Chains A and B, each alone.
Chain A
Amino acid sequence: MKTLVRIVAVLIVIGLAALAAIIFVPVQRTGPTEKLAADWQAPAGLGKYDARMADCAACHTEPGGKPFAGGRTIASPMGDIYTPNITPDKETGIGTWSLADFRAALVDGVDDEDHHLYPAMPYENYRHMSETDIRAMYDYFMHDVEPVKNQVAETELPFPFNQRWGIRLWNWVTLGNPGFKPASTKVANDEQLSRGAYLVQVLGHCGSCHTPRNLTMAQAGTNETDAKFLTGGEIGGWSAPDLRGPKSAPQQWSADELKMYLTAGRNAHSAVAGEMKLAVEESLQYMSDEDANAMVAYLRAIGTNGPAPAEAPMKRDETPAGTVARIDAADDPTTTKLKKAVDLTDGERLYVDNCGACHFADGRGAPEVFPSLKGNAAVVAKETGGLIHTILYGAEMPSTSKRPMKLRMPGFAQRLSDDDVAKLATFLRGAWGNGAGPVTADQVAKERKTPTEASH
């Protein structure tokens, strides 16, 4: 008995010592992964370009606010996180930060006083940024960004998430080696694929939404050799679609259509919505043509069943004038029934009454104007929040230099009851071979209460 007490006591002491070490031993910062000359100058425009590719503005610029002045609320599963001011203002921004401080935030997830940042900041991905990109972005934020005095409220998460030392443990478990190395020889041996991999994995941090999270909420895979990498995640009740499976967009669409989607926000099949709209609006539309080709090539190369077929399975080459002929020719069961318009179910009738004017009886809409609902990622998604939200509150395409018009779908919250929306969404998920499960009125009621923020 005495021995047991002694063992327990020793264990407690060791435990407390370990805890004290976790809490009080200073953070070890990672040094630069590449030696650059002291007088190294970033090529003109690189810092601004990198900041756009990393999409700093998506979180650090409030809608309607001054660039990078922070204050945007990020709704995390643990509570609301307020993004900091990253303008070079000396009092409320990062004006006093050294290059080492700036690098530590991107690579080690700590601020200038070595406090841990919440992993809502995707340092899990930025960690692998090249030293040249870090230096270029530092110069940009220090010299080109306008300082803005904006004191952002301190993030206050409930216990235990407010114990930031816990993040240290998470970092130990989660973070890989700093710097970027292509994970597979196929990518390493191809300059374009390597650049694409860097854009997707690091700067673009695509995995922060499109890779599922593991038990510790870390990305369950960081590169193409991990089976779960980019196979679809969840964000705010929306599914971020799978980008690698045989039915995923990079596998189904042509390279040109994928490039249009990423850079223009719309293509012959679909249009961006939710968080992806922000990504296109603030970041991807500014991709250089070369980088866009690299990103597309990489995404098409990493399918779970191998590279995307050269001939795209999903193709559209129609003209607007061909819409009627297209609908007349469609003979799948759903379109055939809608065309006859006899003995319609409530879901079918709701579609004809509310959606058919734009998306048409064959559900295929019109290229670059009305997204196709057949095989549409948001329609068949595992998480139904995106579909329900879009029916209730509508959606707006971003204005991009390639496609400036902000085409807007109206919301139907006033026109349809929860039961109507459930029936309609259930119909859409089953129509035209979509083969996804039903939606309940309770799910609609829940979504109706959530703010309309996601559609911006």
Chain B
Amino acid sequence: MVDLPGRPSRRSFLKATVASAAVTSIPIGLPHAKAAELPSLEDYKPVYFDAAEWSFILAACARLIPSDGTGPGAIETRVPVFIDLQMAGDFGKAADWYMEGPYKADANPLLGFQSPLAPAEIYRKAIPVFQDWCKQTHGDAFEKLDAETQDAALTSLEKGGVKLDPELRDFFSFLLQNTKEGYFADPMYGGNQGMQAWVHIGFPGARGSYAEWVNNYNAEYPLGPVSISGERA
């Protein structure tokens, strides 16, 4: 199979297919059959990212929380969807951050975020830089590299081995932070599909009170989670 330019790679396609199969096989009994109504990750039309960016996001998330670990991975929990929606929303636009100057993008990182660019712009500008670096260093775009090389490339990105302009230096920490958020946030934001991440760690979700368990020491909590929209698992 040849990877067409601008299309997700065979690898991410396979993962997405496996993910949608996993999602549709979640035990029936959910009050809202949202899982079945969603398009598969393969058919998902990103709101913010273009096709090339989307291929990268799919591939990067798949390495940050891989699917062959002890729990569900970022792909089957639809973390890339979460990131896409966040980029299109207030977070991506830094809508409620102080974004007036002066900007000192190369200030000591201990002084916090100093870039004039909102997170969505940082993704947009940093992804091509990183892709160029992957092609020069590893001979191909990130999503076409094997898993081991991808991990090495992401490690370089994290440790500063990839030269990014100062205003883009938060790219990797955003990518990692948003991936974790998409994994553990309520499913209403697009990730944590079917509350799989919550089931995995035993978090009971948006239930609100456990007064009857306060004095019940060393007992296993028997209930699965509930989401803000009322899904049960």
Binding site for B on A (CB under 8 A): 323-324, 327-328, 338-342, 344, 349-350, 352-354, 356-358, 360-361, 412, 414-417, 419-420
Given contacts A341-B222, A414-B229, contact A360 B212 (CB under 8 A): yes
How many angstroms between the C-alpha atoms of A342 and B221 in the bound complex? 9
Query: Does B31 lie within 8 Å of A352, measured CB to CB?
Result: no
Query: Does B223 lie within 8 Å of A341, measured CB to CB?
Result: yes
Query: Does B212 lie within 8 Å of A415, measured CB to CB?
Result: no
B211 beta carbon closer than 8 Å to chain A = yes
Given contacts A338-B212, A342-B222, A417-B32, contact A353 B207 (CB under 8 A): yes
Residues of A within 8 A of B207 (CB): 352-353, 356-357
- For B214, the closest partner residue in chain A by CB is A324
B153 beta carbon closer than 8 Å to chain A = no
Cross-chain contact of B223 among A323, A327, A352, A360 (Cβ < 8 A) = A352
Cross-chain contact of B209 among A344, A350, A356, A419 (Cβ < 8 A) = A356
7 contacts between A and B (CB under 8 A): A324-B215, A327-B211, A338-B212, A353-B226, A358-B208, A414-B229, A415-B228
Given contacts A352-B223, A416-B31, A417-B32, contact A323 B230 (CB under 8 A): no
B232 beta carbon closer than 8 Å to chain A = yes
Query: Does B211 lie within 8 Å of A323, measured CB to CB?
Result: yes
The smallest C-beta distance from B73 to any residue of chain A, in angstroms, reads 27
Residues of B within 8 A of A356 (CB): 207-209
How many angstroms between the C-alpha atoms of A360 and B208 in the bound complex? 10
- For A340, the closest partner residue in chain B by CB is B222
Residue interface bits B193-233, CB-to-A below 8 A is 1, else 0: 00000000000000111011011100001110010111010
The smallest C-beta distance from A151 to any residue of chain B, in angstroms, reads 46
Residues of A within 8 A of B32 (CB): 417
Query: Does B226 lie within 8 Å of A357, measured CB to CB?
Result: no
Query: Does A361 lie within 8 Å of B211, measured CB to CB?
Result: yes
Residues of A within 8 A of B232 (CB): 349, 353
Given contacts A353-B226, A415-B229, A420-B31, contact A339 B208 (CB under 8 A): no
Query: How many residues of chain B get a CB closer than 8 Å to chain A's CBs?
Result: 18
Cross-chain contact of A357 among B208, B223, B229 (Cβ < 8 A) = B208
How many angstroms between the C-alpha atoms of A144 and B159 in the bound complex? 78
Residues of B within 8 A of A417 (CB): 31-32
Binding site for A on B (CB under 8 A): 31-32, 207-209, 211-212, 214-216, 221-223, 226, 228-230, 232
Residues of A within 8 A of B208 (CB): 356-358
Cross-chain contact of A339 among B209, B212, B230 (Cβ < 8 A) = B212
- For B223, the closest partner residue in chain A by CB is A341
- 7 nearest A-B pairs in the assembled complex, by CB-CB distance: A357-B208, A357-B209, A415-B230, A353-B226, A361-B212, A339-B212, A341-B222
Residues of B within 8 A of A339 (CB): 212, 216
Residues of A within 8 A of B216 (CB): 339
Query: Which residue of B32, B209, B214, B215 has the most chain A CB atoms within 10 A of its CB atom?
Result: B209
Query: Which residue of B32, B211, B221, B226 has the most chain A CB atoms within 10 A of its CB atom?
Result: B211
Query: Which residue of A353, A412, A420 has the most chain B CB atoms within 10 A of its CB atom?
Result: A353
Residues of B within 8 A of A338 (CB): 212
Query: Does B230 lie within 8 Å of A416, measured CB to CB?
Result: yes
Residues of B within 8 A of A360 (CB): 209, 211-212
Residues of B within 8 A of A352 (CB): 207, 223
Query: Does A328 lie within 8 Å of B212, measured CB to CB?
Result: yes
The smallest C-beta distance from A453 to any residue of chain B, in angstroms, reads 25
How many angstroms between the C-alpha atoms of A445 and B222 in the bound complex? 32
How many angstroms between the C-alpha atoms of A323 and B230 in the bound complex? 26
Residues of A within 8 A of B214 (CB): 324
- For B207, the closest partner residue in chain A by CB is A353
The smallest C-beta distance from B28 to any residue of chain A, in angstroms, reads 13
Residues of B within 8 A of A358 (CB): 208-209
Query: Which residue of A356, A412, A419 has the most chain B CB atoms within 10 A of its CB atom?
Result: A356
How many angstroms between the C-alpha atoms of A352 and B216 in the bound complex? 17
Query: Does B209 lie within 8 Å of A324, measured CB to CB?
Result: no
Residues of A within 8 A of B212 (CB): 327-328, 338-339, 360-361
Residues of B within 8 A of A361 (CB): 211-212
How many angstroms between the C-alpha atoms of A339 and B212 in the bound complex? 6
Residues of A within 8 A of B223 (CB): 341, 344, 349, 352
The smallest C-beta distance from A348 to any residue of chain B, in angstroms, reads 11
How many angstroms between the C-alpha atoms of A129 and B207 in the bound complex? 53
Residues of B within 8 A of A416 (CB): 31, 230
Cross-chain contact of A353 among B215, B221, B222, B230 (Cβ < 8 A) = B230
How many angstroms between the C-alpha atoms of A419 and B215 in the bound complex? 34
The smallest C-beta distance from B79 to any residue of chain A, in angstroms, reads 24
How many angstroms between the C-alpha atoms of A361 and B213 in the bound complex? 10
How many angstroms between the C-alpha atoms of A237 and B232 in the bound complex? 31
Query: Does B211 lie within 8 Å of A420, measured CB to CB?
Result: no
Query: Does A420 lie within 8 Å of B230, measured CB to CB?
Result: yes
The smallest C-beta distance from B2 to any residue of chain A, in angstroms, reads 46
How many angstroms between the C-alpha atoms of A328 and B219 in the bound complex? 15
Residues of B within 8 A of A419 (CB): 31
Residues of B within 8 A of A420 (CB): 31, 230
How many angstroms between the C-alpha atoms of A327 and B215 in the bound complex? 10
How many angstroms between the C-alpha atoms of A354 and B226 in the bound complex? 9
Residues of B within 8 A of A340 (CB): 222
How many angstroms between the C-alpha atoms of A412 and B32 in the bound complex? 14
How many angstroms between the C-alpha atoms of A328 and B228 in the bound complex? 27
How many angstroms between the C-alpha atoms of A350 and B91 in the bound complex? 33
How many angstroms between the C-alpha atoms of A344 and B230 in the bound complex? 16
How many angstroms between the C-alpha atoms of A353 and B212 in the bound complex? 13
- For A360, the closest partner residue in chain B by CB is B211
How many angstroms between the C-alpha atoms of A416 and B207 in the bound complex? 14
